[in-house]
Amino acid sequence: MTKHSEYETIDPTAELITTYNELNSPVIDELTEPPSALEFMRFVAKNRPFVVRGGASNWSAAETWNIATLKKWLKGQDVTVAVTPNGNADAPVMTGDGKIMFVQPLEEQQAFDEFVDFVVGQERTGKKIRDVKEVRYAQTQNDNLRNEYSALYSQVEKDIAWARIALQKSPDAVNLWIGNSLSTTALHKDNYENIYVQILGKKHFVLLPPVAYACVAERHLPSARWMRKPYGRLEITTEEDHSIPFATWDPDNPTPAAEMQTMYSILAQPMRVTLEPGDMLYLPALWYHKVSQSTSDEGICVAANYWYDIEFGGSFWPLCNLARTVGTTALQIEPEDIV
């Protein structure tokens, strides 16, 4: 392998990220009306995001939802709520002994109106995350808007017409998200083309393209879950022999722990966009996204999203896989950590 090393004057991973940054704007494209299927397909072809300002502002949901109407339509219904002490469901958590784990939320059933009262009441106290015992977030991502929340489904579009026509498929899942400003979704990616629709409050996205794989410090983390202990206290319970590859770099943390960054993190050029009520975001497949939120005047944040299956044909998937393999090797992660 000595001969190999001699010729390694180009770092392909650094070159990939810098070439991408040179050829692409760090600012998201903004549309003022929904795209045609063809216009959308041009963005899909480039795997580039865009926001449609006010693209959903005439939806019934955007025009009629508030705490009172949501409570009325979901009266008497239980919903699944993710409970965490720090508002970080499905996130890397550094435990007291300095170990990083991938911790999933406790999931509890709760009457919808009690859940909303909790979320809104907490928001109105103005408390910071360190001063609360727990944070609740409806975020099951299991097609919940066509199941648990089906009473609301008639008030959003069944699917996104321009995405359905362009991609020639119906959404695989339509999800509703309800929470307050104390919940954050950690940086991660999904194998889906994603249309995100803001209804109440705002979402603040930090975005990174798939080529930034080597920047996000993906690690194979032991899987764990928040569990209720006596007196309602939340504690981490490890799940046996199960680990998850997950990004540990936080684009908002200027001084990350050494093990939560890589030598390439400094090359990342995060793209930031805030969705206002009625705005839509196209979040392309495999893009990393971190999402935080702020609430409406009533103290709530509500959004819906549409997941369309990724296209595995063509060169995009194999090439992203190459970027991952090369990045992993460059970072000298042991092969058993590669998934």
- Regarding 27 and contact with a second copy (CB under 8 A), the answer is no
Q: Which of residues 284 and 299 has its CB atom nearest to a second copy in the complex? A: 284
Both structure tokens of 159? 């699917």
Site string for a second copy, 171-210 (x = CB under 8 A): --------------------------------------xx
- What 3-state DSSP class applies to 268? coil
Structural element, H or E, at residue 2: helix 2-6
Nearest Cα residue to 116 out of 297, 300, 305:
300
Q: Please, which residue, 96 or 314, has the CB nearer to a second copy?
A: 314
Q: Which of 227, 257, 322, 339 binds a second copy (CB under 8 A)?
A: 322
Lateral strand order in the sheet of 78-84: 106-111, 78-84, 135-137
Residue number, 226 or 316, with CB nearest to a second copy:
316
Alpha carbon distances (Å) from 234 to 106, 107, 229, 237, 322: 8, 12, 6, 10, 40
Please state the closest distance from residue 6 (CB atom) to a second copy, in A: 9
What distances in angstroms separate CA 163 from CA 94, 157, 275, one per listed residue?
39, 12, 19
Candidates 3, 33, 126, 241; binder of a second copy (CB under 8 A) is 3
Exactly one of 178, 260, 271, 323 binds a second copy (CB under 8 A); which one? 323
139 token code pair? 């975020």
Question: Quick one: which of 28, 41, 129, 234 contacts a second copy (CB under 8 A)?
Answer: 41
> Quick check: 319 binds a second copy (CB under 8 A)?
yes
The C-alpha atoms of residue 182 and residue 295 are separated, in whole angstroms, by: 10
Residues that bind a second copy (CB under 8 A): 1-5, 7-10, 12, 15-16, 19-20, 23-24, 37-38, 41-42, 44-48, 165-166, 168, 209-211, 311-323, 325-326, 329, 332-335, 338
